[in-house]
């Protein structure tokens, strides 16, 4: 292998077609050309244009390429010369120097960004049709702020694979990454899905965590996940195309060979480090699924190693290096014969025949041969001569007993069943949530109907007192120490009605409880536990009905720590009204929602009346 075999790629690049791309309002064409120019200046060979939910940025580049091709044809036909022609030739060369791939950053349920990179040969019309099927409406194109696609991640993996896309989980360790948006069995199913070919990480420290996680047997895969970095270029001041980037070993600069390299990332992909033979060798030597074969005289050992690694899904053999890490190697002239000998041995000795790729690694005057073994999903590999099955255990091939073979077959079947059922299970879970919601809505309709037939006023179910107490007033005043934190929290959370949830009612605004009847509702609440640790203890505040400006009412049944909006600070001289629900009506007003998260404030009741509380 030569370092010249590696191409520098940035597979996560945005353009003006993304709303969060930093650009001036004018000079659209210049923006696109400057993007290509910056890529070439940074020695990038391959870029994927991955705008949010759209390929409009890629289409604009293709439109510009065709324009420059036409201009070049015209100046050539008329033998024109001059500075403008030189500039035209230089600009046109940007398109030929770079492999520009179409792609998009798709926002999938339950909140995961996926990079989908396509072969330019399939055409933009087919990709556009795919985007439409994925539930992306015109207003969602170019942004992830106006809704989420209709497909879950599993469905995206399946649908995009049908178009032969390269699929990468974008910024897996950050917001809207696969680790934030998924957990447990769902995450395991996604990370073991063979259609997902790479994880993009933002923080270099995350790479080691991900590697450790993927070593867990429950995350077993036939093909290793590539771990890559890209620029996620949005033209911000601190950003540049190709910084960071992914280096891909390719026989030539084509999409099909890029896909091939991602199937065997260990020797073919380095990111963000520049390719270095010694670095690649050290990664192979440290990998727990690498077997060291000193010479081809050890044919029996070769067969056992290939069988065990194929049954493990994938693995590596370093031919020409001893288990003691002594690099003996071969002469350059021996490599082709060595490769052919290994191929013949595998074909004659192993059933079924696994996929095998070769990568010569030049070390000084000698060459080591890296052999990448790849098993198939539903295959159990064995020795053709004696039907022996070998498994990879504790870093070496082990002869499998009957129980081991049965266990492996069960695991193969389990993985395949999970892969087939995963999208269906997710759809069933979603349907179940909708059914629970429908059940609650029907119950709410019944309660509303009952209240409409025989109205029950708020005044009938509560006891209420005006509390004019120095202790309470001091407690509220002391909240001033935390006002800044509370204001910041108030910006980030929309609680109940437009003025928030509060027990504060000035006594001259006595609520007309006799004029308001109960109705069923489920206000959306979103409180964080640590918020309540900031707030003072309010005496006598146990279970209570809370009335607020605008006509809302909320039932609080939990801790005595209560959140007050800013209006409290401006009315410290006023009294407080606490409304305690009568025990005989407690069950009536208890929360019933099964699908909505409840917090310190829980409610299924609001006020409905002829006029708002005055």
Nearest to 241 by CA among 31, 445, 481, 524: 31
Nearest to 113 by CA among 42, 162, 175: 175
User: What pLDDT does 406 receive?
Assistant: 79
Q: What is the mean pLDDT of each run of 10 residues along the chain (614 residues)?
A: 80 95 80 94 96 96 94 87 88 93 94 95 94 93 89 91 95 89 85 92 87 79 88 92 94 92 87 86 86 90 94 88 91 92 94 88 89 78 91 90 77 66 64 67 58 58 51 51 52 37 38 48 37 38 42 42 38 43 55 34 35 31
Going by the DSSP 8-state scheme, the letter that residue 332 receives in this structure is G
Show the tokens assigned to 135.
């539930």
User: What pLDDT does 231 receive?
Assistant: 95
> Could you tell me the end-to-end alpha-carbon distance of the chain, in angstroms, rounded to an integer?
81
User: What pLDDT does 8 receive?
Assistant: 96
CB 479, CB 490: distance < 8 Å: no
To the nearest 10 degrees (0 to 180), the angle between helices 56-77 and 28-41 is 90
Show the tokens assigned to 147.
């809704």
Q: Which fold has domain 11-22+42-54+101-275?
A: TIM Barrel (3.20.20)
pTM over 0.85: no
CA-to-CA dists, residue 520 to 434, 444, 527, 583, angstroms: 19, 6, 21, 19
Residue entry with tokens 């992914």: 246
* Domain spans in the chain, listed from the N-terminal domain onward: 11-22+42-54+101-275, 288-400, 455-609
- String of b and e for 580-597 (b: at least 16 CB within 10 Å)? ebeeeeeebbeeebeeee
Which residues lie across from 495 on neighbouring strands?
Answer: none
Strand, helix or coil for residue 598: coil
Task: Provide CB contacts within 8 A for 448, sequence distance 6+.
Answer: 519, 520
CATH 3.40.50.970 holds for 288-400: no
To the nearest 10 degrees (0 to 180), the angle between helices 56-77 and 83-97 is 140
Dist CA 130 CA 158 (whole Å): 12
Going by the DSSP 8-state scheme, the letter that residue 291 receives in this structure is E
CB 340, CB 313: distance < 8 Å: no
To the nearest 10 degrees (0 to 180), the angle between helices 402-453 and 184-191 is 130
Dist CA 421 CA 193 (whole Å): 12
Dist CA 329 CA 295 (whole Å): 9
């Amino acid at each position: 292998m030569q370092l010249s075999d590696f191409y520098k790629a940035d597979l996560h690049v945005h353009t003006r077609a993304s709303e969060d791309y930093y650009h001036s309002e004018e000079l659209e064409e210049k923006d696109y050309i400057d993007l290509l120019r910056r890529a070439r200046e940074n020695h990038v060979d391959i870029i994927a244009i991955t705008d949010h939910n759209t390929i409009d940025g890629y289409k604009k580049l293709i439109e510009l390429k065709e324009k420059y091709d036409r201009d070049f044809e015209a100046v050539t036909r008329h033998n024109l010369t001059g500075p403008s022609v030189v500039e035209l030739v230089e600009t046109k060369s940007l398109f030929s120097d770079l492999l520009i791939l179409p792609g998009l950053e798709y926002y999938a349920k339950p909140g995961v960004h996926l990079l989908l990179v396509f072969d330019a040969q399939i055409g933009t019309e087919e990709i556009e049709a795919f985007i439409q099927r994925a539930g992306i409406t015109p207003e969602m194109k170019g942004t992830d702020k106006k809704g989420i696609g209709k497909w879950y991640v599993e469905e995206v993996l399946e649908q995009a694979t049908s178009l032969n896309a390269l699929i990468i989980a974008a910024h897996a360790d950050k917001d809207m990454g696969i680790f934030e948006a998924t957990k447990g069995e769902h995450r395991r199913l996604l990370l073991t899905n063979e259609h997902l070919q790479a994880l993009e990480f933002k923080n270099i420290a995350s790479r080691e965590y991900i590697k450790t996680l993927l070593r867990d047997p429950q995350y077993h895969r036939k093909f290793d996940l590539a771990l890559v970095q890209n620029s996620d270029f949005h033209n911000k001041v601190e950003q540049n195309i190709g910084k960071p980037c992914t280096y891909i070993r390719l026989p030539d600069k084509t999409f099909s060979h890029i896909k091939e390299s991602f199937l065997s990332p260990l020797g073919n992909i380095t990111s963000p480090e520049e390719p270095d033979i010694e670095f690649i060798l050290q990664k192979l030597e440290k990998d727990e699924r690498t077997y060291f074969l000193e010479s081809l005289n050890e044919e029996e050992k070769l067969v056992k190693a290939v069988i065990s690694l194929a049954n493990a899904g994938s693995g590596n053999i370093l031919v020409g290096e001893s288990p003691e890490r002594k690099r003996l190697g071969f002469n350059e002239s021996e490599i082709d014969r060595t490769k052919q000998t290994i191929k013949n041995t595998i074909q004659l000795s192993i059933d079924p025949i696994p996929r095998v790729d070769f990568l010569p690694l030049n070390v000084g005057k000698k060459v080591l041969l890296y052999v990448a073994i790849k098993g198939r999903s539903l295959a159990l590999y064995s020795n053709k001569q004696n039907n022996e099955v070998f498994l990879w255990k504790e870093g070496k091939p082990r002869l499998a007993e009957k129980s081991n073979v049965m266990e492996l077959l069960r695991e193969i079947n389990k993985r395949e069943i999970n892969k087939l059922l995963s999208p269906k299970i997710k759809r069933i879970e979603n349907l179940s949530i909708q059914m629970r919601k429908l059940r609650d809505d029907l119950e709410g309709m019944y309660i509303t109907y009952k209240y409409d037939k025989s109205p029950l006023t708020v005044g009938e179910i509560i006891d209420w007192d005006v509390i004019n107490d120095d202790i309470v007033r001091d407690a509220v005043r002391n909240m001033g120490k935390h006002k800044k934190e509370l204001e910041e929290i108030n910006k980030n959370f929309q609680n109940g009605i437009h003025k928030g949830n509060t027990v504060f009612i000035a006594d001259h605004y006595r609520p007309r409880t006799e004029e308001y009847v109960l109705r069923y509702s489920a206000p959306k609440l979103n409180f964080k536990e640590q918020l309540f640790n900031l707030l003072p203890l309010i005496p006598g505040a146990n279970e209570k009905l809370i009335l607020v400006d605008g006509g809302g009412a909320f039932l609080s049944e939990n801790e005595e720590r209560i959140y007050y909006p800013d209006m409290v600070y401006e009315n410290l001289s006023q009294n407080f009204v606490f409304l305690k629900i009568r025990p005989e009506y407690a069950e009536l007003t208890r929360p019933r929602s099964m699908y909505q998260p409840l917090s310190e404030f829980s409610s299924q009741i609001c006020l409905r009346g002829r006029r708002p509380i005055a």
